[in-house]
């Protein structure tokens, strides 16, 4: 996941390949709650691991459920032992539910029926998302719920219910603000239907109906068959008792699929990149899905996408181009419909998405948010209380490079990534990319894995002499931008170490053998900054003074430099790369858009090296260090192959007196000056 302040997507030209999507949020959180209320242990496969499921899992543990392992571990099932309809004595506490509607609403209903004493809290936006219709319905039963701030909104306090006045009269709930209120009652009231049937009546129009279908399907898997009378009345049979199905699989998320369906419809496939595969393959969800958002496929087809599907997969490729504008009632696909608004940027006319009033009470006011951000890109947008109408930029020249504000809304962030395929060649900045953690933490990694930029990914080169601080500064710049990091000096250190381990003296005569040796080695830089040579952790071994000297000695051999050239260029990837070394800007990435030459006086560098060694508990002598460093500078600068020298277009940064932060900030400022964005308010 990218945790940077913003993520710059370079202009993207094509996409093809396959993506395995994470689990469905709607199914995951329902399965977790149903398993928690059941008798027995449920083994859940392919559960989504995201902010929304984490808050649910923590709440269930607080309620007394045993969860093993205690958090989701990739590739491993999760086992939940339910409470069989009863909370432990004196159950109480504060449950933080973030901004997860699928946790806040169903847990409120379940706990209001079970009793105990709970405070239901969340992030500030959760306190603006309505829950009054659900609370009104639960109060009809005798549930005790108090608003802790504003009437009709969380935070809430839930106390011990009094069911003494419970009658056979139907429970009424409004369905026109959110279907999650009805879902919540459908999941909580079987707990009360042990010896009487319970009827729920929907008052007014029921929105987002397919989500009720998911609820009913999953209830059936946990032993409760609800009668659905035309989406108006739902009857939970007497004698209901949750029974674990033992094992259950979570389908991949159909709403998350919408971004990749759109990608397949928008992006041409560059056949030179992957000739064997045309279009986008989505794995984990397909035509047999129980999720209503699978019907996004029909909308995408209406816009021109060519979609094939199997039980558990979709294959999407470009059909009509430009896409065809549509006019669609989107009430049945409220979440995926946002993706249509992004697709509308590529349509041949004006697209209207109707009956989407619920967008206004979700993670943010989504109608307003989409309208504002689409306009920044150059689209003409009209918004109404329950519709949005989008006309794409009139011509290529009307597209604008925008910094997209994401309103802490995962779907805004994911939708606008599709704007990186604009016809004008502009990059797109996504602010606060980590908001995708709500349902799809690795969304951008998945996007990059199937997308190709129109230009090679951008590179920032930071070259300079030994101990100039380039490694530290490069790592911090990479971290700030979410870029990959190439520590090219480490490659030479690795080569030197590999040579000595192989018994090869570092001599001119052995240079071809050393070059062959390094080509044959598997070199890995792990995300936690470990360096592996054929699987062996050499992170410390390459950091000794001797390894540094050997690096400098192997680096003079053209054969070795040639062997490492491609290895280094292969580090270039989306969204970008920061490379530090001595010839990044002159030899390896001569066309890089930013080249920095970092220097500091020899005395200053020797002192830094001295402190570094001492802090590691290694012995050091200042005079020797200075002499070594000067010898090394001389060798690096005067070697015949790729000598250390600033690239002609490099910017000088002398950090003898400044702090690391100042140097990092200077590099970032230079980088920013090369971007076309204006940051949003």
Ligand X SMILES: C=C(OP(=O)(O)O)C(=O)O
Q: Which residues are annotated as a binding site?
A: 25-26, 30, 101, 129, 178-180, 208, 335, 362, 366, 411, 438, 464-472
Q: Which residues contact 96 (CB under 8 A, 6 or more apart)?
A: 55, 58, 121, 122
Binding positions for ATP are 464-472
When asked if residue 582 is in the footprint of ligand X (CB under 6 A), the reply is no
From the list ligand X, ligand S3P, none, pick the one residue 207 interacts with, judged by a Cβ distance below 5 to 8 Å according to partner type.
Answer: ligand S3P
Residue nearest to ligand X (CB): 101
When asked if residue 253 is in the footprint of ligand S3P (CB under 6 A), the reply is no
* Pairing of the two strands 536-537 and 531-533: antiparallel
When asked if residue 293 is in the footprint of ligand X (CB under 6 A), the reply is no
CB of 214 to ligand S3P, least distance (A): 7
Q: Which residues contact 303 (CB under 8 A, 6 or more apart)?
A: 265, 320, 323, 324, 325, 326, 340, 343, 347
Q: For Cα atoms 182, 183, 184, give the angle at the middle one, nearest 5 degrees.
A: 90
Residue 41 three-state SS: strand
When asked if residue 178 is in the footprint of ligand S3P (CB under 6 A), the reply is yes
| Continuous segment of H or E residues that includes residue 547 | helix 545-554
CB of 334 to ligand S3P, least distance (A): 4
Burial of 283 (0-12, 13-18, 19+ CB in 10 A): middle
When asked if residue 335 is in the footprint of ligand S3P (CB under 6 A), the reply is yes
Select from 286, 334, 464, 489 the one that contacts ligand S3P (CB under 6 A).
334
Q: Which is nearer to ligand S3P, 362 or 429 (CB)?
A: 362
Tokens standing for 123?
């992030």
Q: Which is nearer to ligand X, 437 or 478 (CB)?
A: 437
CB of 330 to ligand S3P, least distance (A): 11
Alpha-carbon torsion, ordered 136, 138, 140, 144, to 10 deg: -100
Q: Which is nearer to ligand X, 155 or 496 (CB)?
A: 155
Count of positions on this chain that bind ligand S3P (CB under 6 A) = 13
Tokens standing for 553?
């000695």
Select from 318, 376, 405, 411 the one that contacts ligand X (CB under 6 A).
411
Residues 87-116 that bind ligand S3P (CB under 6 A): 101-102
When asked if residue 358 is in the footprint of ligand S3P (CB under 6 A), the reply is yes
**What does the alpha-carbon distance between residue 627 and residue 574 come to, in Å, rounded to a whole number?**
41
Among 98-106, 288-296, 449-457, 502-510, which window interacts with ligand X (CB under 6 A)? Answer: 98-106
CB of 133 to ligand X, least distance (A): 14
Select from 191, 198, 207, 347 the one that contacts ligand S3P (CB under 6 A).
207
Residue owning tokens 């109404």: 384
CB of 200 to ligand S3P, least distance (A): 15
Binding positions for 3-phosphoshikimate are 25-26, 30, 178-180, 208, 335, 362
Where residue 152 falls (left for φ over 0; alpha for ψ -120 to 50; beta otherwise) is: left
**What does the alpha-carbon distance between residue 99 and residue 334 come to, in Å, rounded to a whole number?**
17
Q: Which residues contact 338 (CB under 8 A, 6 or more apart)?
A: 359, 366, 370, 411, 412, 415
Residue 478 CA, chain-centre distance (Å), reads 18
Among 97-105, 158-166, 343-351, 555-563, which window interacts with ligand X (CB under 6 A)? Answer: 97-105
From the list ligand S3P, ligand X, none, pick the one residue 183 interacts with, judged by a Cβ distance below 5 to 8 Å according to partner type.
Answer: ligand S3P
Whether 537 is catalytic:
no
Q: Which is nearer to ligand S3P, 180 or 655 (CB)?
A: 180
When asked if residue 258 is in the footprint of ligand S3P (CB under 6 A), the reply is no
CA-CA distances (angstroms) from residue 217 to 269, 308, 483, 654?
Answer: 37, 25, 43, 65
Select from 81, 183, 256, 452 the one that contacts ligand S3P (CB under 6 A).
183
**What does the alpha-carbon distance between residue 421 and residue 12 come to, in Å, rounded to a whole number?**
5
What string of DSSP letters covers 403-447? EE--TT-HHHHHHHHGGGG-TT---EEEESGGGGGGT-TTHHHHH
- Contact in structure between 275 and 285 (CB atoms under 8 Å): no
How many residues can be counted in the chain? 681
Q: Which of 52, 293, 335, 636 is catalytic?
A: 335
CB of 611 to ligand X, least distance (A): 50
Q: Interface mask (CB under 6 A) for ligand X, residues 413-452, using x and -?
A: --------------------------x-------------
Select from 48, 57, 65, 100 the one that contacts ligand X (CB under 6 A).
100
**What does the alpha-carbon distance between residue 116 and residue 377 come to, in Å, rounded to a whole number?**
51
- Contact in structure between 408 and 363 (CB atoms under 8 Å): yes
| Bond preceding residue 572 cis, omega within 30 of 0 | no
When asked if residue 26 is in the footprint of ligand S3P (CB under 6 A), the reply is yes
Among 69-77, 95-103, 489-497, 571-579, which window interacts with ligand X (CB under 6 A)? Answer: 95-103
Residue 357 three-state SS: helix
| Sign of CA pseudo-dihedral 485, 487, 490, 494 | positive
Binding positions for phosphoenolpyruvate are 25, 101, 129, 180, 366, 411, 438
| Sign of CA pseudo-dihedral 497, 501, 505, 508 | negative
* Pairing of the two strands 531-533 and 17-20: unpaired
Q: How many CB atoms lie within 10 A of CB 204?
A: 12
CB of 131 to ligand S3P, least distance (A): 11
- Contact in structure between 639 and 583 (CB atoms under 8 Å): no
When asked if residue 466 is in the footprint of ligand S3P (CB under 6 A), the reply is no
When asked if residue 102 is in the footprint of ligand X (CB under 6 A), the reply is yes
From the list ligand S3P, ligand X, none, pick the one residue 439 interacts with, judged by a Cβ distance below 5 to 8 Å according to partner type.
Answer: ligand X
Alpha-carbon torsion, ordered 334, 340, 341, 346, to 10 deg: 180
CB of 399 to ligand S3P, least distance (A): 30
When asked if residue 362 is in the footprint of ligand X (CB under 6 A), the reply is yes
When asked if residue 332 is in the footprint of ligand X (CB under 6 A), the reply is no
CB of 422 to ligand X, least distance (A): 25
Select from 251, 253, 293, 335 the one that contacts ligand X (CB under 6 A).
335
CB of 25 to ligand S3P, least distance (A): 7
Tokens standing for 63?
């309620």
From the list ligand X, ligand S3P, none, pick the one residue 60 interacts with, judged by a Cβ distance below 5 to 8 Å according to partner type.
Answer: none
Instruction: Report which of 39, 369, 357, 31 is spatially closest to residue 208, judged by C-alpha positions.
Output: 357
Among 188-196, 207-215, 266-274, 485-493, which window interacts with ligand S3P (CB under 6 A)? Answer: 207-215
Q: Which is nearer to ligand S3P, 360 or 480 (CB)?
A: 360
Q: Which residues are catalytic?
A: 335
Residues near ligand S3P, by CB under 6 A: 26, 101-102, 178-180, 183, 207-208, 211, 334-335, 358
Residues near ligand X, by CB under 6 A: 99-102, 335, 362-363, 411, 439
């Amino acid at each position: 996941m990218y945790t940077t302040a913003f993520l710059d997507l370079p202009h993207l030209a094509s996409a093809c390949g396959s993506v395995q999507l994470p689990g469905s949020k709607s199914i995951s959180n329902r399965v977790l709650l149903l398993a928690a209320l059941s008798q027995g242990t449920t083994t859940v496969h392919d559960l989504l691991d995201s902010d929304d499921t984490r808050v649910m899992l923590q709440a269930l543990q607080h309620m007394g459920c045993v969860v093993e392992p205690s958090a989701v571990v990739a590739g491993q099932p999760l086992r939940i032992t339910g409470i069989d309809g009863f909370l432990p004595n004196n159950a109480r506490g504060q449950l933080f539910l973030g901004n997860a509607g699928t946790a806040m609403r169903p847990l409120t209903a379940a706990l209001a029926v079970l009793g105990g004493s709970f405070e239901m809290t969340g992030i500030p936006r959760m306190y603006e998302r309505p829950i009054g219709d659900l609370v009104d319905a639960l109060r009809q039963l005798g549930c005790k719920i108090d608003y802790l701030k504003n009437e009709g909104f969380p935070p809430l306090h839930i106390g011990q219910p009094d069911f003494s006045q419970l009658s056979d009269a139907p429970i009424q709930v409004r369905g026109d603000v959110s279907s999650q209120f009805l879902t919540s009652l459908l999941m909580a009231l079987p707990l009360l239907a042990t010896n009487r049937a319970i009827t729920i009546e929907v008052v007014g129009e029921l929105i987002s109906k397919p989500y009720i279908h998911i609820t009913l399907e999953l209830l059936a898997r946990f032993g409760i068959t609800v009668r659905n009378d035309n989406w108006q009345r739902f009857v939970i049979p007497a004698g209901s008792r949750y029974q674990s199905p033992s094992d259950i699989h979570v389908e991949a998320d159909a709403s998350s699929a919408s971004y990749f369906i759109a990608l397949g419809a928008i992006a041409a496939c560059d056949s030179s990149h992957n000739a064997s595969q045309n279009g986008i393959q989505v794995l984990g969800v397909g035509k047999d899905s129980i999720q209503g958002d699978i019907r996004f496929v029909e909308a995408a087809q209406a816009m021109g996408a060519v979609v094939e599907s199997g039980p558990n997969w979709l294959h999407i490729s470009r059909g009509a181009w430009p896409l065809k504008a549509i006019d669609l009632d989107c009430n049945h696909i409220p979440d995926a419909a946002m993706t249509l608004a992004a697709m509308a940027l590529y349509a041949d006319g004006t697209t209207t998405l109707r009956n989407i009033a619920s967008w206004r009470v979700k993670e943010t006011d989504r109608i307003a948010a989409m309208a504002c951000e689409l306009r920044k890109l150059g689209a003409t947008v009209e918004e109404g209380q329950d519709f949005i109408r989008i006309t794409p930029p009139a011509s290529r020249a009307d597209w604008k490079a925008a910094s997209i504000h994401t309103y802490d809304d995962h779907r805004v962030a994911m939708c606008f990534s599709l704007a990186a395929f604009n016809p004008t060649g502009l990059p797109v900045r996504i602010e606060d990319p980590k908001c995708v953690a709500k349902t799809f933490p690795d969304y951008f990694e998945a996007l990059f894995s199937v997308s190709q930029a129109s230009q090679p990914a951008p590179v920032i080169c930071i070259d300079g002499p030994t101990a100039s601080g380039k490694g530290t500064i490069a790592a911090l710049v990479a971290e700030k931008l979410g870029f990959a990091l190439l520590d090219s000096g480490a490659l030479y250190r690795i080569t030197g170490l590999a040579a000595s381990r192989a018994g090869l003296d570092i001599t001119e005569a052995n240079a071809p053998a050393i070059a062959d040796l390094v080509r044959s080695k598997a070199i890995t830089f792990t995300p936690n900054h470990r360096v592996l040579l054929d699987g062996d952790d050499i992170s410390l071994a390459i950091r000794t003074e001797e390894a540094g000297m050997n690096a400098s000695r192997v680096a003079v051999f053209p054969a070795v430099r040639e062997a490492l050239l491609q290895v280094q260029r292969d580090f270039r990837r989306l969204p970008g790369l920061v490379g530090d070394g001595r010839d990044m800007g002159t030899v390896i990435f001569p066309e890089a858009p930013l080249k920095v030459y970092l220097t500091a006086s020899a005395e200053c560098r020797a002192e830094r090296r001295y402190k570094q060694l001492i802090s590691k508990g290694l012995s050091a002598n200042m005079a020797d260090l200075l002499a070594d460093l000067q010898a090394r500078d001389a060798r690096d600068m005067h070697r015949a192959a790729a000598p250390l020298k600033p690239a002609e277009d490099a910017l000088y940064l002398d950090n003898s007196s400044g702090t690391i932060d100042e140097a990092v900030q200077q590099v970032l400022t230079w980088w920013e000056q090369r971007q076309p964005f204006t940051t949003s308010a």
